[in-house]
Structure 1
Amino acid sequence: MKARVRRGASAFALTALVVTSCTSGDPSDAVGDTADTSNAVVGDPVVDREAEVTPTTTPDPSPTRETEPSTDATPPPVATARPVSDTAVTDTATTGTATGTATTGTGTTDAGSPAGDPVCSAQTDLLPENDEPVRVILDTDFAPDVDDAGALGVLHALADAGEVEILAVMVSDGGDARSDRAIDAINTFYGRPDIPIGVVAGAAPAGASVYVDELAAGFPNDVQETSSATDLYRRILSGQPDASVTILSIGYLTNLEALLSSSPDAASASPGDRLVEQKVVRWVAMGGTYPDSIAHPLGAEFNFERDVTAAINSVADWPTPAVFAGWELGDVVLTGAVLQTDTPPENPVREAYRLFNGGQAHRSWDLIATLAAVRGTAGLFDVCTGRNVIGRGGSNRWENDGENRHGYLRLTVPAADVAAVLDGLLVEPPGASP
């Protein structure tokens, strides 16, 4: 395993080495979720919500996680940089000024790649390709943004179709919000009340939620006690066949870092990294912006930025193939409005969207990662292979290398086509088979 980033540092080390954000300020979300992206395809400009102000008549009243940082109840851990000799950390920017491969989306180079995108060498075998149900452990920062609730609903619909077995759900956000009970409310609605739920232990990013406590109090659930996510990961993985589990992370990587560094215990004699290497077939993550996070309005995507240490260590040290669904995909795929018209009031996912933004269509970051984790490219995506490099403040950039153990998703169809698939899954009633 490569050298890991340490949590905590002296004031001097922080001044010299601390991994901090490349941007500052409290920018607002200038483009509402109702923006027309139905014809967006690879090569279309990525909407820069910091530079392009397009008022809408029905703006999303709730802040989106990609543009307005939440108020922390528990401060995120401090990150310190890897040793200079470790090339896994390479800054993509040092001043917050967009340079390098940033483009305006006005041209293409190869097979629809945005200008500046490295040639995409498709390698679909990083994602599932057969008809066997995918064994999934979901890891979610459930509280801040409603797309986590939407992703869980999509995962259940895919389970009803016989495409996935949900082994467990892990919560990566800290604080007082009862995400475990809200998750159990959705699991219960879909007829799976016994799915085990693990919660993050120790310091973790946290923030307020506009829907979690309401779901926990207003819908049937019976969570009494939950295990630590690390302990539950180890128990679940140890009981699965080798190379059989897909870990799907749609939140902070706090739990994954803890899993990789975990010690042998009663569940398994293997340390965490060896246990993952033995039991996990792939990791699919919503995180980053591709091919370079300088295209992101804040210079770093939310899931990587909120726990930088975990992002650096997890991405660099993960021992199996990993595929990343970037911010740029979910930003143009809008889903969820159909929940208000096509599902009943007792659906907690519908209520989550109503509480979050009045039931409007919302960006689909986590739903896209969920779909790809189960259905693979599904005729909707390419997988561009190489290596994901995490740098300052959770920034990322893509490198072409010979190993090709990392991949990122790239749209190959209009955004509306992906939205139609996801909305179709969201409105499936429990027990239905699409």
Structure 2
Amino acid sequence: MRVSFLTLLAVIAMCATHRDAAAQTAADEPVPFIFDTDIGNDVDDVLALGMIHALEARGECRLLAVTVTKDHELAAPFVDAVNTFYGRGDVPIGVVRDGVTPATGRFNILADQKDDGQLRYPHDLMSGADAPDAVTVLRKALAGEEDGTVVMAQVGFSTNFARLLDSKPDDVSPLSGRELVAKKVRLLSIMAGAFELIKGKIHPEYNVIKDIPSAQKLAEEWPTPVIFSGYEIGLSIPYPSESILKDYDYVEHHPLAEAYHLYIPPPHNRPTWDLTSVLYGIRPDRGYFDLSPEGRVTIDDKGVTTFEAQEGGPHRYLIASPEQKIRVTEVQVQLASQPPVHNSSAKNDQ
């Protein structure tokens, strides 16, 4: 059978239309998202978690799991309390064992706070000792998703993700941890390192230096693209404490605002290190940040991060212009302070 040239063009155009429509549908799907946090060591983790819930309420992501690298019994219950506050108390939570920061933290005590004998912030995970291991939770979350779709955000230490890479095949998946990540993960958005001088000096960043071997492993072996949000980014985009004072009083008690007060009370403007990694991970194409050239990040034995440009390299880091910083501040305030919406199909084109 002979096919005319015009008919052939029509078929090609039809295929292209279907392909573009499929791509658009995929782009409109909520981002499967995993959040790994050292919650309790700083309050930006809490604001970042609130942002995730706001973005899920807008239909932009699905929070698959939260894993915790702070090894204190109240860290996971506090996460559960925040998740429950936003109507998602069933989100799986995994914890680190033998983690590097076992202290309570200034605000995780809110998980135990009671008023008239009742928990101020209801939740059902009462101790991290009752939570599953983070690696198990990560493997289950990844195994259940479509290939090449998951975005992972790490805003604490690299402990959990490094252990994930080392995990062996099990009942959850016949793949090793590295194979599972390579198959399921699209992007790792990580708050770690510093790619500018801070006050004229090289800055070994906290998330890196607390577990240098794990950070080195991640930098060397993680098999997907990695976007680093360096210390300089969050430092230059502080969260306005005026928002804490005015934007969260739609309820008598708000876990984000109370955590902020307990960490360092307003008028302190806290840098938004962790918020930037979440924002880029879920909204990478909104122009909030520019990116460095492709390259590779290396980490020395003192925890100093170095970036070397390399065509086709797996690593890039965020860059923010003065204009972008203004825009990012505004959107982070709007998202973090958004009231709970217990309908995950709700959308808002903020």
Give yes or no for TM over 0.5.
yes
Answering whether residue 259 of structure 2 is matched by residue 372 of structure 1, we say no
1:219 partner amino acid: Y
Q: Which whole-Å CA distance do the structure 1 matches of 2:65 and 2:317 have between them? A: 25
Alpha-carbon RMSD: 1.8
Answering whether residue 316 of structure 2 is matched by residue 407 of structure 1, we say yes
Q: Once the two structures are aligned, what percentage of the paired residues are identical? A: 34
Answering whether residue 211 of structure 2 is matched by residue 323 of structure 1, we say no
2:247 alignment counterpart: 342
SS at match of 2:298: strand
Q: Which whole-Å CA distance do the structure 1 matches of 2:340 and 2:303 have between them? A: 38
1:111 alignment counterpart: none
1:155 alignment counterpart: 52
Does the 8 A contact of 2:150 with 2:186 survive in 1? yes
SS at match of 2:302: helix
Does the 8 A contact of 1:167 with 1:195 survive in 2? yes
2:213 alignment counterpart: 309
Relative to 1, partners in 2 of residues 1:389 and 1:196: Cα closer, same or farther, differing over 3 Å? same
Relative to 1, partners in 2 of residues 1:339 and 1:203: Cα closer, same or farther, differing over 3 Å? closer
Aligned residues: 304
1:191 partner amino acid: G
2:21 alignment counterpart: none
Q: Which moved more, 1:401-410 or 1:155-164?
A: 401-410
Does the 8 A contact of 1:167 with 1:236 survive in 2? yes
Q: Which whole-Å CA distance do the structure 1 matches of 2:176 and 2:62 have between them? A: 25
Q: Which whole-Å CA distance do the structure 1 matches of 2:247 and 2:209 have between them? A: 35
Does the 8 A contact of 1:172 with 1:252 survive in 2? yes
SS at match of 1:393: coil
TM-score by length of 1: 0.67
Q: CA deviation at 1:151?
A: 0.4
Q: Say which one has the larger Rg.
A: 2
Task: Choose between structure 1 and 2 for higher RCO, CA contacts under 8 A separated by at least 6 residues.
Answer: 1
Does the 8 A contact of 1:293 with 1:300 survive in 2? no
Relative to 1, partners in 2 of residues 1:416 and 1:257: Cα closer, same or farther, differing over 3 Å? same
SS at match of 1:358: coil
Q: Report Cα offsets for 1:51-95 as digits up to 9, x if no partner.
A: xxxxxxxxxxxxxxxxxxxxxxxxxxxxxxxxxxxxxxxxxxxxx
Aligned counterpart in structure 1 of residue 107 of structure 2, from 185, 195, 211: 211
Relative to 1, partners in 2 of residues 1:412 and 1:341: Cα closer, same or farther, differing over 3 Å? same
Q: CA deviation at 1:203?
A: 4.0
Q: CA deviation at 1:295?
A: 6.6
2:154 alignment counterpart: 249
Does the 8 A contact of 1:382 with 1:410 survive in 2? yes
Equivalence map 1:74-89=2 (5 Å): none
SS at match of 1:168: strand
SS at match of 2:182: helix
Q: CA deviation at 1:401?
A: 1.0
Equivalence map 1:192-341=2 (5 Å): 192-217=88-113, 218-224=120-126, 225-290=130-195, 299-337=203-241, 338-341=243-246
Q: CA deviation at 1:392?
A: 2.5
SS at match of 2:233: helix
Answering whether residue 335 of structure 2 is matched by residue 425 of structure 1, we say yes
Relative to 1, partners in 2 of residues 1:350 and 1:312: Cα closer, same or farther, differing over 3 Å? same
2:110 partner amino acid: E
1:393 alignment counterpart: 302
Relative to 1, partners in 2 of residues 1:271 and 1:173: Cα closer, same or farther, differing over 3 Å? same
1:389 partner amino acid: T
Q: Which whole-Å CA distance do the structure 2 matches of 1:293 and 1:227 have between them? A: 39
Q: Which whole-Å CA distance do the structure 1 matches of 2:48 and 2:151 have between them? A: 15
SS at match of 1:312: helix
SS at match of 1:202: coil
Relative to 1, partners in 2 of residues 1:376 and 1:261: Cα closer, same or farther, differing over 3 Å? same
Q: Which whole-Å CA distance do the structure 1 matches of 2:213 and 2:68 have between them? A: 18
2:108 partner amino acid: V
Equivalence map 1:100-119=2 (5 Å): none
Q: Which whole-Å CA distance do the structure 2 matches of 1:371 and 1:247 have between them? A: 12
1:351 partner amino acid: E
Does the 8 A contact of 1:172 with 1:254 survive in 2? yes
Does the 8 A contact of 1:205 with 1:307 survive in 2? no
2:59 partner amino acid: G
Q: CA deviation at 1:433?
A: 4.3
Relative to 1, partners in 2 of residues 1:276 and 1:295: Cα closer, same or farther, differing over 3 Å? farther
Q: Which moved more, 1:138-147 or 1:380-389?
A: 380-389
1:164 partner amino acid: C
Aligned counterpart in structure 1 of residue 258 of structure 2, from 351, 372, 378: 351
Aligned counterpart in structure 2 of residue 131 of structure 1, from 24, 28, 39: 28
Q: Which whole-Å CA distance do the structure 1 matches of 2:66 and 2:265 have between them? A: 26
Q: Which whole-Å CA distance do the structure 1 matches of 2:103 and 2:151 have between them? A: 28
Q: Which whole-Å CA distance do the structure 1 matches of 2:197 and 2:212 have between them? A: 14
Does the 8 A contact of 1:380 with 1:412 survive in 2? no
Q: CA deviation at 1:397?
A: 0.8
SS at match of 2:27: coil
2:85 alignment counterpart: 189
Q: CA deviation at 1:375?
A: 0.4
2:10 alignment counterpart: none
1:136 partner amino acid: F
Relative to 1, partners in 2 of residues 1:413 and 1:393: Cα closer, same or farther, differing over 3 Å? same
TM-score by length of 2: 0.82
Q: Report Cα offsets for 1:335-372 as digits up to 9, x if no partner.
A: 15213211133221111011111133211000111100
Answering whether residue 293 of structure 2 is matched by residue 382 of structure 1, we say no
